[in-house]
Structure 1
């Protein structure tokens, strides 16, 4: 029987990379996103207009009906997006609302899913950002959303959080990912400092395949890439 994982944000650049990587290693992959990922075995397609509670109920029902009662090895939340703005920006509230829906709502839903569907000693990953480890005056909503994600990850790793026994919650905190969108909007940037998506796919696979390789439960894993080489540090 195939091992199962769930990728939340499976149509984004990193999510698509994860779907393809885990499929190549014979995992049954469920993608959750606003659009289908044709590579995934199962797609749960969200309605962007639904509120947090409705989305969570819908996803839970879909997973219950498609997983055959088998617990999943991992839930990899890589949903999110970037929007900037300081408090005076005309789109400050609009952008903040958007990034909270993308990052915080998806994080809360994946936490709920993990409490129900993740196996004992399974893995939940969350999508933080290195920027949120410090102040973010030019992108306050984004920084706040990612800081909330980091807080949720640390809280889930604490006792009495509702997570399955011996499971791990790890929050990645990249600086810049090497995505097509980032290359489009930052064509003159030094991409040797950007973290390759395949590196993260390989890292997640190692953590799923070998629980002893995981950092301490609750860790925020900062990804720093220099000259094409990525190093991990823990916060």
Structure 2
């Protein structure tokens, strides 16, 4: 049984990934937004409310997980946010806001987890969530803060791979197109959700990448677009 630290466990994508990992027999330690949505109690599921912009809190959580479970096999870091806005619409406050939501929340968990994995003979696996606008400028031009913040997440994954090369630490970024969630269906009522990516499919892919034959993959960025 592997131990997985997962951030954003109660989000639209997080719920599907949490359930997939539990169904596969893993222990999941999921962070939840303080005062936000919760997860129903299940065997091998542990939840912690935590503001991931609190660096000391993130470090304390990683230490607690290691003390209680003996290590961390995989970290799946999902927490983030989104906003539209062109360059002319986007001041630095908007960039800073999404920097905190998308990059800071990822980095402040990844850093202590990387330190722990470096001490484990087995190393470990990171799975991060990128965004197509971070790779495609024509898409990013209408959501500048989002694209810039997610580009840092993608670069972080590259750095984790470089730093973890001799430690059996591997990081992968999944870059989905539009995810089929109730929020997106409401926001885009005229779109065809059959072209989008289902959360359950992303969950299966993450399980495959972290624990299945996908462990052999060394591609840093996996594009999960379906037909969107």
- TM-score (normalizing by structure 2): 0.85
User: Would you say 1:225 and 2:208 are equivalent positions?
Assistant: no
Instruction: Report how far residue 180 of structure 1 moved.
Output: 1.4
Alignment of 1:130-145 (within 5 A): 130-135=132-137, 136-145=140-149
* 2:156 match: secondary structure: helix
1:109-158 per-position Cα deviation (integer Å, ceiling 9, x unaligned): 23213213445242101111112112222111111001111111111111
- The answer on whether the counterparts of 2:65 and 2:72 sit within 8 Å (CA) in structure 1 is no
Q: Name the CA distance, whole Å, in 1 between partners of 2:71 and 2:189.
A: 43
Q: Name the CA distance, whole Å, in 2 between partners of 1:174 and 1:18.
A: 14
> Cα gap change, 1:170/1:62 in structure 2, threshold over 3 Å: closer, same or farther?
same
* 1:225 match: secondary structure: coil
Q: Provide the alpha-carbon RMSD of the alignment.
A: 2.3
**Runs of 4+ with >6 A deviation:** none
- The answer on whether the counterparts of 2:130 and 2:151 sit within 8 Å (CA) in structure 1 is yes
Higher relative contact order (CA 8 A, sep 6+): 2
Q: How many pairs were matched up? A: 217
- The answer on whether the counterparts of 2:164 and 2:170 sit within 8 Å (CA) in structure 1 is no
Q: Name the CA distance, whole Å, in 2 between partners of 1:223 and 1:76.
A: 16
Alignment of 1:10-159 (within 5 A): 10-34=9-33, 35=36, 36-39=38-41, 41-47=45-51, 52=53, 55-67=54-66, 68=68, 70-89=70-89, 92-118=91-117, 119=120, 120-135=122-137, 136-158=140-162
> Cα gap change, 1:60/1:133 in structure 2, threshold over 3 Å: closer, same or farther?
same
* 1:157 match: secondary structure: helix
Q: Aligned to 2:191, which of 186, 189, 192?
A: 189
Q: Name the CA distance, whole Å, in 2 between partners of 1:168 and 1:196.
A: 25
* 1:195 match: secondary structure: coil
Q: Name the CA distance, whole Å, in 1 between partners of 2:96 and 2:178.
A: 22
- The answer on whether the counterparts of 2:134 and 2:148 sit within 8 Å (CA) in structure 1 is yes
Specify which structure has the higher proportion of strand.
Answer: 1
- TM-score (normalizing by structure 1): 0.82
Instruction: Report how far residue 105 of structure 1 moved.
Output: 0.7
Q: Name the CA distance, whole Å, in 2 between partners of 1:212 and 1:66.
A: 25
Instruction: Report how far residue 220 of structure 1 moved.
Output: 0.9
